[in-house]
Amino acid sequence: MNFKNWILLVFFSLSITVFAQRKLEQIDPEKKEEQQKAHQQKETDRASKPRWTENFSFGGNLGGNISNLGSFITVQPMTFYRFTDLTLAGAGLTYYYWSRDFQTTQGKVTFSDNAYGLNLFARQLLFEPAFVHTEFMPLNFSVYDVNTRESRREWVSAFYVGGGVNQAISDRASMYIMILYDAMHDPNKSFRSSPLDFRTGFYF
């Protein structure tokens, strides 16, 4: 290959290199621009998402026991709304089932009932992990009238006050234990024989 051809080959190679470099320089800003647009769109979507929806949590209480004397089952699905880092409030549904065996002169007799209702509550964190809790709970169940010796379904309300402790199990999920006192307890009508109510539950 003569000198002239070498010159042409070198010039051609340099031309390709310069063209490729310019093309890469052109592509890099385009990629950066696309990435910036994607990031801006993500931020816009995040900003447009209603903030209040992130404050909702769901959970509730489950419990029960089964023994020779009878059975008791509790189901309370609940929705929590976090107003601040320290204040929660919400609403839920309550369902109780109970059955109890009594020994009579005619033999063993089983009584059972289903109770259902609502619960509205508020919870305030005092300091980690302790909180105070208030709750209004109207329940519909069979009330036994000792005078007429008959039972009829009635709505009977309870107003609980008390507190408990939280135990975080993840960034959003927590378990809790609390003890409540029914300030409206009536030994002749209230669903529970005792004004005290011990509960365990969770929310996430």
Spans of all domains in the chain: 1-49, 52-203
Buried b (16+ CB within 10 A) or exposed e, 158-188: bebebebebeeeeeeebebebebebeebeee
User: What does the pLDDT look like over 2-57, one tens digit per residue?
Assistant: 544 544 444 444 454 444 455 545 555 656 666 666 666 666 655 555 566 788 99
Alpha-carbon separation of residue 171 from 108, 167, 174 (angstroms): 51, 11, 8
Q: Which CATH architecture has domain 52-203?
A: Beta Barrel (2.40)
Q: Name which of 4-8, 159-163, 178-182, 196-200 the model is least confident about.
A: 4-8
Residue 180 has pLDDT above 90, yes or no: yes
What does pTM read for this prediction?
A: 0.68
- Which percentage of the chain shows pLDDT scores above 70? 69
What tokens appear for 63 in the block? 């419990």
Say which residue, 176 or 45, is predicted with more confidence: 176
